[in-house]
């Protein structure tokens, strides 16, 4: 039986697996999905956990729940070796296990590099997964329970992740919060539209978030952060420092015998096949795909979602002697959460809305992107009945 092995259960990996299972196979192949976690994480909603707007079950359903009745096998384990020549993958599942494949999909996401600045790996918190949220939330709860007047939070990185965190934390801490956003560029949201940037700047200002531009973090300790400006430096006391700067990949992926682009991503053909290895596909953060102008595509869920559809089709085509198609990315727009019930949205990079309408549009659009209809239905019913349940609870 043909075996398709998918490494990584994020937007690229999970959605490719689900798309493969829906294709018209004459003989259904064996589809194996491998991930070190037992849960899929809908990362755009990770920020909603900070303010308790959503619960963990909503944004992090288990793979067991999502893959029921799909025929897809899930293996929870850590990938320790990939051999393109023998077409084998080694996975540690408590003991060494070898998986042979006919087609391989590399969909292991990136990691936040924590070794760029002295002290960051010891004292700063990245924000990519549930464990990062647990660390942040634990610190916030301890500080909130203390008798200190001010809670000082510093966020390194003025991209969408940093901006969303700054607004959420400011809304959570309210008057006790002293939130500072640091970025080495001369503006936040360098890759966003002017409209979204202006709306985000206003949202930060309204929440009292201090923004340091043209500034870099040079050192982090357990109680201080050292900032460097063009004309000097400053040492500031902090209670929490969050790190949202940059992206890198595991040594295992970096050492694969393939061509890498300058961002460390794997060079691929337009069909998402790894150059030199037609039986191996790379998607998501790891894939070095470009747009029509030759620029590397951003490492976003939107890109991975679109790639998953092309990847599944091309694997099916490659196994059924059909022509493969070139991946073509369509930028649909951008959503940025700005605090509780706030957001800004650009549609096709041309039309922008903000406030509650943008927040509603963001939630509805992401609801439709949930991996299965069953989970969409479960969340949708919860959202619709939540106001009534809260009203009944208050009246009792």
Residues 51-95: tens digit of each pLDDT: 999 999 999 999 999 999 999 999 999 999 999 999 999 999 988
Q: Does residue 389 register a pLDDT over 90? A: no
**Mean pLDDT on 140-152:** 96
Kindly indicate the confidence band of residue 352, based on its pLDDT and cuts at 50, 70 and 90: confident
Q: Per-residue pLDDT averaged across 261-281, rounded?
A: 89
Residue 135 has pLDDT above 70, yes or no: yes
Per-residue pLDDT, averaged over 84-110, amounts to 94
Say which residue, 203 or 1, is predicted with more confidence. 203
- 324 near 315, Cβ under 8 Å? no
The predicted structure's pLDDT at residue 255: 86
Torsion angle of the four alpha carbons 166, 171, 173, 179, in this order, in degrees rounded to the nearest 10: 30
The residue whose two tokens read 């890109």 is 303
Q: In what order do the strands lie in the sheet with 224-229?
A: 216-220, 224-229, 232-237
* Confidence grade of residue 140 (pLDDT, cut at 50, 70, 90): very high
The 10s digit of each residue's pLDDT in 189-248 is 988 889 999 999 999 999 999 999 999 999 999 999 999 988 888 999 999 999 999 888
Residue 51 has what pLDDT? 97
pLDDT at 361: 93
Residue 344 bridge partners (DSSP): 336, 354
Among 148-162, 205-219, 284-298, 370-384, which is the least confidently predicted range? 284-298
**pLDDT confidence of residue 351:** 77
Query: Structural domains in the chain?
Result: 3-110+247-319 (3.50.50.60), 120-243 (3.50.50.60)
What rounded mean pLDDT belongs to the chain? 92
Q: What is the largest CA-CA distance in the chain?
A: 68
Predicted local confidence at residue 109, as pLDDT: 86
Which of 93, 73, 84 is CA-nearest to residue 33?
73
How much is the average pLDDT of 346-366?
88
Helix or strand run (H / E) with residue 366: helix 356-368
Question: Which H or E run contains 395?
Answer: helix 373-395
Vertex 61: Cα angle to 56 and 66 (nearest 5): 170
Identify whether the C-beta of residue 298 lies closer than 8 Å to the C-beta of residue 8: no
| pLDDT at position 232 | 86
User: Quick check: 312 pLDDT over 90?
Assistant: yes
Can you give the pTM of this predicted structure?
Answer: 0.92
Q: Which two tokens stand for residue 348?
A: 């096709």
**Does pLDDT of 396 surpass 70?**
no
Please report, for residues 210, 232, 251, 339, the alpha-carbon distance to residue 163 in angstroms, rounded to integers and kept in the order given: 11, 25, 29, 9
Residue 247 per-residue DSSP state: -
> Encoding tokens for residue 184?
């080495």
- In this structure, which long-range contacts are made by residues 97-101, counting pairs with CB atoms below 8 Å and at least 24 apart in sequence? 99/3, 99/5, 99/32, 99/34, 99/75, 100/3, 101/3, 101/4, 101/5, 101/32, 101/279
Task: Say how many Å lie between the first and final Cα of the chain, rounded.
Answer: 59
Residue labelled with tokens 């640091």: 182
Please state which of the ranges 252-256, 287-291, 322-326 shows the lowest mean pLDDT.
287-291
Residue 293 reports pLDDT greater than 80? no
In the predicted model, what is the mean pLDDT of residues 148-175?
A: 96
Whether the pLDDT of residue 25 is over 70: the answer is: yes
Least confident of 191-205, 358-372, 378-392: 378-392
Distance CA 288, CA 304 (A): 12
């Amino acid at each position: 039986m043909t075996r398709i092995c998918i490494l990584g259960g994020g937007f690229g990996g999970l959605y490719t697996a689900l798309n493969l299972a829906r294709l018209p196979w004459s003989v259904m192949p064996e589809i194996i999905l491998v991930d070190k976690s037992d849960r899929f994480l809908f990362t755009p909603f990770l920020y909603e956990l900070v303010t308790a707007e959503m619960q963990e079950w909503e944004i992090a359903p288990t793979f067991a729940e999502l893959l029921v009745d799909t025929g897809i096998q899930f293996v929870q384990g850590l990938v320790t070796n990939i051999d393109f020549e023998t077409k084998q993958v080694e996975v540690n599942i408590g003991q060494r296990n070898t998986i042979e494949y006919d087609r391989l999909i590399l969909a292991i996401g990136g990691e936040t590099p924590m070794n760029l600045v002295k002290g960051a790996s010891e004292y700063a918190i990245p924000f990519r997964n549930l464990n990062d949220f647990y660390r942040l939330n634990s610190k916030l709860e301890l500080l909130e329970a203390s008798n200190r007047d001010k809670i000082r939070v510093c966020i390194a990185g003025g991209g969408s992740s940093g901006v969303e965190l700054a607004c959420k934390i400011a809304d959570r801490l309210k008057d006790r919060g002293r939130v500072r956003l640091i970025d080495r560029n001369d503006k936040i949201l360098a890759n966003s539209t002017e409209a979204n940037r202006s709306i985000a700047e206003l949202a930060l200002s309204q929440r009292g978030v201090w923004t340091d531009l043209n500034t870099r973090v040079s050192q982090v300790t357990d109680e201080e952060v050292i900032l460097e400006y063009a004309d000097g430096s400053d040492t500031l006391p902090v209670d929490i420092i969050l790190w949202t700067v940059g992206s890198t990949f595991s040594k295992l992926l970096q050492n694969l015998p393939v061509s890498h682009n300058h961002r460390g991503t794997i060079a691929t053909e337009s069909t998402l096949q790894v150059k030199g290895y037609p039986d191996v596909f790379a998607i998501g953060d790891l894939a070095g795909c470009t747009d029509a102008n030759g620029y590397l595509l951003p490492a976003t869920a939107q890109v991975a979602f679109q790639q998953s559809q092309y990847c599944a089709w091309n694997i099916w085509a490659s196994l059924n002697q059909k022509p493969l198609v070139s991946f073509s990315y369509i930028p649909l727009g951008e959503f940025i959460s700005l605090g509780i019930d706030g957001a800004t949205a650009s549609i096709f990079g041309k039309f922008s809305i903000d406030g509650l309408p943008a927040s509603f549009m963001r939630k509805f659009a992401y609801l439709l992107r949930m991996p299965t209809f069953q989970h969409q239905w479960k969340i949708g019913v919860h959202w619709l009945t939540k106001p009534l349940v809260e009203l009944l609870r208050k009246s009792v």
